[in-house]
Amino acid sequence: MEVVGLVIIIGFLVYLLYISSDNKIFLIERIVGLILAGIFLLLLMSIFSYTPDYVLANLGGKFGYQASSFLIRTLGYIISVYTCLVLLIYGFLVFINRPRKSFLIELSALFIAFFSITIFLPPPLSGGLSQKISSALQTNFGIAGRIIFTIVLIALAALVFEFPKILKWRKPKEKEIVERYDTETRLEKAEIKRTEITKNRKRLLEKEFQPGEESFDPLSLISLLKPAEPFDATESKQELEKNKLQIEEKLKEFGIEGKVINYFPGPVVTRYEYEPAPGVKLSRISALSDDIALRMRSNAIRIVAPLPNKGLVGFEIPNKNRKTVFLRSLVERDEFLNLDSPLAFALGVDTAGNPVYADLAYMPHLLIAGSTGSGKSVCINTIITSIIFRNLPSKVRFILIDPKRIELSLYEGIPHLLLPVVKDRKLAVDVLKKTVKWMDFRYKLFAKEGARDITSYNEKIRKNGGDPIPYIVIIIDEFADLIITTGREIEEPLARLAQMARAVGIHLVVATQRPSVDVITGMIKANFPVRIAFKVPSRVDSKTILDEKGAEKLLGRGDMLFIPPGTSEPLRLHGPLISEEETKRISKFLVRSYLGQIFKAYFRTFEGDLEGLIEEFMDENLFLSLIRTDEPGFEELEARAVEFISDTIEMDEQTVKNKIEEIRENYYRKIPEMTEIPLGQPEEEVELQEGEWDSMLEEAARAVVLEGKASATLLQRRLKLGFARAARVIDQLEQIGIIGPQEGTKPRKVLVKLDDLDRIFKSRGNQ
């Protein structure tokens, strides 16, 4: 009987651990927490009112009497009260969404400590289990064995509870109390603001989706993220003061006088602000970075001399205990919710732990570079997720280009995409070229309405009862791979988009893990003034990205240098973490919601469990057959999807197959540009009549101006033209004065600049 009781208690502890894990829905946790709190409150009242042989006096009735009798006989009065009390508290904490991860571990440690003490106590303070263990120890090992067993259990409990770490080398008791109070205060404020957050988020939503969409509450998406602790400092006051003195002493050894006047501890690094004495050259301080790193026992110290807008020198020193910054801690804040721009996103926290948000609309394009594992992919996921939290698919659409076929494929099927994730390199070039034509189409729309940018155009369209056009965000995960495989054919459309696409709501995010000069060329840097550098292997790579050193001193795992719009001074930030599991949960939620609307529209006769049908359909990855046909094993996947739907909704297979083909054609809803200028194959060669201008003349002009030289071979490579047509286009470029005459075997000279082309071709169009 006693064993059964222990099994029941352990089962409850395990179940509480299970429901407090990070991958469970918030609502379920609250419901279960409330139920458990009620059960253990009843048991606690039953134990307090327990009287042997008097059932009616028990506040818990017959059940309470029997349960309390069993617990007291098995565990004793002390352990029974303790167990019910702490599980009651934990159930309540789960209900209000404030459980600490280590709470159950600490409670288990205290349980072991209390249990070891009850071995020496008489009934009913100790239970039958304690008495049996005590008797067995006394019989076999004597009184010494009982004492040693108790000491070992208490030491084990202290080890689990981390008493030595807290009392000796963790933090002073006063500091621990202050920080714990600060943490609890922040959590209370966050809980109080939850109602405001709900209102602010709903304000960001439009009233309803366009046909084929399903509205969702962004709060339900945020609940899929990992609960996060506040991103406060991790270093103690004593450690900060020690580092301060070490910096001053080390500089004095080299004859540099001054003092550290302030420091700003953050979750990852601490910035110490040093004021040198008059007459000290900054170059002397910067040259001592290696010596200071030796003194501080760290090879990742970064010196900022001088600090922007301050007459001080900054020393950025890594903390001994690094703290992870989670995305949820940034997107739940009012600063994020109150941002007006649809393209705002959470970028990270600065060295002092203050949140930093950025706006892609004001950049207007972003270049991300860094070595493998430094945090590029997580940064891209942060940008995508942040924008999804704030916008419906009718407002922002994504074009994801992923030559590696891994990172961005997680988003396949979400309604925010404009087309399936682009994995083929040649298709990526075609998509970017078509996007340039979409950009030109939008400019024509704006000119027709007399609008200057996408904001004013959408306002006029709404007033006239029309449908606004969405922003388009193009994300390229590995730009270097495209440069290598497409022979820089992709560079020209990128340059055009970077120069002109901002006003029409098209923005670029380009990432590469190879920040070399043959990838990040001068043209790319000129068109991407806003850049993020993660950790790189060398100073050369850092200068390629930022035009200055510093990125080689970063710590990795999200540590970055960010050049904000309109400035050239890098800002050190720590990017938030969103795991692959969290990304999958968010994508699955969006795809499941979207498929619900699609199935309702195409399979209206089905009256069964639609949610269960979609869940099983996604678990088998059959939904991919509704999106694209270029994946390996597509025929088999489509056949399985047809069979599954046919058997479930009782429809003949040919009809189901026809509907799947129709869904695939319309899965990602088209925007006006795609209707006017669809994606397709490159244009075929055409024969021109005498005196007729070639249709590729304008694109050829831009290509030679960007290259700085002109030749038929160049046009063959860039525009995929035959030699005869390329030579004809070269002659026409000479006729209209864009390039000079032939000079032997040398390439022809380019006589105009990129800004002159619009004027030239506009005047030709008016003739």
| pLDDT for 304 beyond 60 | yes
Strand partners, 263: 272
Which stretch of 85-89, 237-241, 252-256, 651-655 has the lowest confidence by average pLDDT? 85-89
Burial of 654 (0-12, 13-18, 19+ CB in 10 A): exposed
Instruction: Give the Cβ contact number of residue 202 at 10 Å.
Output: 11
Q: What is the pLDDT of residues 720-751, one digit of tens each?
A: 777 678 888 888 888 888 888 877 667 788 88
Residue 650 tokens read as: 């009782």
603: Cα separation from own chain's centroid: 35
| pLDDT for 360 beyond 90 | yes
Q: Between the ranges 248-257, 677-686, 753-762, where is the mean pLDDT highest?
A: 248-257
Burial of 334 (0-12, 13-18, 19+ CB in 10 A): exposed
Q: Closest by alpha carbon to 522, among 493, 561, 495, 552?
A: 495
How many helices (H) and strands (E) would you count in the chain?
31, 13
Q: Helix, strand, or coil here: 256?
A: coil
Q: Between the ranges 87-91, 119-123, 244-248, where is the mean pLDDT highest?
A: 244-248
Q: Quick one: pLDDT at residue 167?
A: 39
Is the peptide bond prior to 564 cis by the omega test (within 30 degrees of 0)? no
From CA 726, how far away is CA 624, in angstroms rounded?
A: 41
The pTM is what? 0.64
Is the peptide bond prior to 470 cis by the omega test (within 30 degrees of 0)? no
Question: Which amino acid does the sequence have at 65?
Answer: Y
Strand (E) positions, 26-136? none
Q: What is the pLDDT of residues 650-700, one digit of tens each?
A: 888 889 998 998 898 889 988 888 888 877 544 444 455 555 788 888 888
| pLDDT for 511 beyond 90 | yes
Question: Which amino acid does the sequence have at 627?
Answer: I
Q: Quick one: pLDDT at residue 187?
A: 41
Instruction: Give the Cβ contact number of residue 581 at 10 Å.
Output: 12
> For residue 350, which phi and psi values (nearest 5 degrees)?
-80, -175
Q: What percent of the chain has pLDDT over 90?
A: 23
| pLDDT for 489 beyond 50 | yes
Residues 6 or more apart in contact with residue 711 via CB below 8 angstroms: 730, 747, 748
Q: How confident is the model at residue 189 (pLDDT cuts 50, 70, 90)?
A: very low
248 or 159, which is more confident: 248
- Contact of 462 with 468, CB cutoff 8 Å: yes
Q: What is the pLDDT of residues 376-422, one digit of tens each?
A: 999 999 999 999 998 889 899 999 999 888 889 999 999 999 999 99
Q: What is the pLDDT of residues 138-152, one digit of tens each?
A: 777 777 777 777 777
Strand partners, 369: 512, 533
Strand partners, 259: 275
Residue 421 tokens read as: 């994730």
Which stretch of 55-64, 110-119, 695-704 has the lowest confidence by average pLDDT? 110-119
Q: Quick one: pLDDT at residue 310?
A: 84
Q: Which domains does the chain have, with CATH numbers?
A: 2-170 (no CATH), 237-318 (3.30.980.40), 328-578 (3.40.50.300), 581-676 (no CATH), 697-766 (1.10.10.10)
Q: How many degrees, rounded to 5, is the angle at CA 707 between CA 702 and CA 713?
A: 90
Residue 53 tokens read as: 């042989």
556 or 689, which is more confident: 556
Q: Quick one: pLDDT at residue 160?
A: 64
Q: Quick one: pLDDT at residue 193?
A: 44
| pLDDT for 268 beyond 50 | yes
From CA 65, how far away is CA 728, in angstroms rounded?
A: 100
From CA 604, how far away is CA 653, in angstroms rounded?
A: 16
Which runs of consecutive H residues, i.e. helices, occur in 450-561?
454-463, 479-486, 491-500, 522-527, 539-546
Q: How confident is the model at residue 372 (pLDDT cuts 50, 70, 90)?
A: confident
Which stretch of 288-292, 551-555, 605-609 has the lowest confidence by average pLDDT? 605-609
Mean pLDDT of the chain: 80
Q: Quick one: pLDDT at residue 1?
A: 53
Instruction: Give the Cβ contact number of residue 688 at 10 Å.
Output: 13
Q: How confident is the model at residue 28 (pLDDT cuts 50, 70, 90)?
A: low
Instruction: Please compute the mean of the pLDDT values over residues 85-110 and round it to a whole number.
Output: 68
Residues 6 or more apart in contact with residue 355 via CB below 8 angstroms: 231, 330, 333, 335, 336, 346, 348, 349
Which stretch of 92-106, 213-227, 322-336, 540-554 has the lowest confidence by average pLDDT? 92-106
Q: Quick one: pLDDT at residue 421?
A: 94
Q: Quick one: pLDDT at residue 470?
A: 95
| pLDDT for 345 beyond 90 | yes
**Taking the chain, what is the end-to-end CA distance rounded to the nearest angstrom?**
101
Residue located via tokens 């193009």: 474
156 or 241, which is more confident: 241
